[in-house]
Amino acid sequence: MEKIRAKKSMGQNFLVDGNVLSRIVEAVVLEPSDRVLEIGPGRGALTSLLVKRAEQVLAVELDRQLVPLLEKEFSGADNVEFIQGDILKIELPEVLGSRWNGRWKVAANLPYNISSQVIFKFLDNVSLFSSLILMLQKEVGDRLIASPGTKEYGILSVFCNLHFNISRVLIVKPGSFRPIPKVDSVVLKFVPLAAPRQDVGDETLFRQVVKASFSQRRKTLANCLRSALIADNDDLNLILSQAGIDGGRRGETLTLEEYAQLTRQVLAFQKRQSP
């Protein structure tokens, strides 16, 4: 493929390290019948390995300049399709379901500036996938696998733990990319659970509870919930008591199990308040 300069505005850093590319393909664990969604094919380095092993590769690329070059480069392959578009705006159930109604595998080198948003999109469509191999900025990856009580632990840690088993595949040094970024990257493997790890009662409410609990990290859990969710002190104290959680703790100390229990108690309270 002809030389294309990476666009800083799109967060482009092209992976050029053959060893890392091979490790990523190995982590995807492709069978000949598998369909793969690739996000951000860039110059097609990973694509060229995926098309040799998968039944079909669907690659979504934001850069309008790259798509025709990719189509030309892979004109001899009948099992790859390129879509020019923003992964955050694409309707995944429609796009994937119209091509195959099975569960897709994902391989993605996510731009640092949208990685969290893309992961939220995967969470909203978790039933579409059998596994996801994602390359992320190491700082973001650390947050996804963080434990309660650590500074990295946050909203995404809790949400992802509800739906995925996550494991680290490898750390990728800046020299593996062109242009060379300033930070390390990490490749993580996400395997969706057959059912959520905890019964949260209502997932929309669960997300509201978790977001409220992390809304002001220096404040206590009770203060955060009072500001964002339950205004009345007595009601809030009752909910926390029934959940067995000390309101003087901070949101980053709660486990997934505790967030699930807290959400169920908030839900029960809301139902009692309904006419």
Using CB atoms within 10 Å of the CB of residue 32, give its burial: 0 to 12 exposed, 13 to 18 middle, 19+ buried.
exposed
| CA-wise closest residue to 119 among 150, 163, 84, 168 | 163
* Residue 104, amino acid: W
Calculated CA dihedral for residues 10, 160, 225, 231, nearest 10 degrees: 90
For residue 90, what are its two tokens? Answer: 């694409």
Residues facing residue 170 across a β-bridge: 187
Residue 109 annotated as lining a ligand binding site: yes
Is residue 40 a known part of a binding site?
yes
Check the annotation: does 86 bind a ligand. Answer: yes
**Which residues, listed in sequence order, are joined to residue 83 by a DSSP beta bridge?**
60
- Alpha carbon 143 to chain centroid distance? 11
Distances (CA, A) of 184 to 119, 173, 174, 177: 19, 5, 6, 10
Residues 6+ apart with CB under 8 A from 273: none
How many Å from the N-terminal Cα to the C-terminal Cα in the chain?
65
Collapsing DSSP states into helix, strand and coil, what is residue 78? Answer: coil
Is 113 annotated to bind a ligand? Reply is: no
The one-letter amino acid at 159 = F
Q: How far apart are CA 226 and CA 223, in angstroms?
A: 5
Nearest-Å Rg of the Cα atoms of the chain is: 21
Annotated binding site: 13, 15, 40, 61, 86, 109
Annotated binding site for S-adenosyl-L-methionine: 13, 15, 40, 61, 86, 109
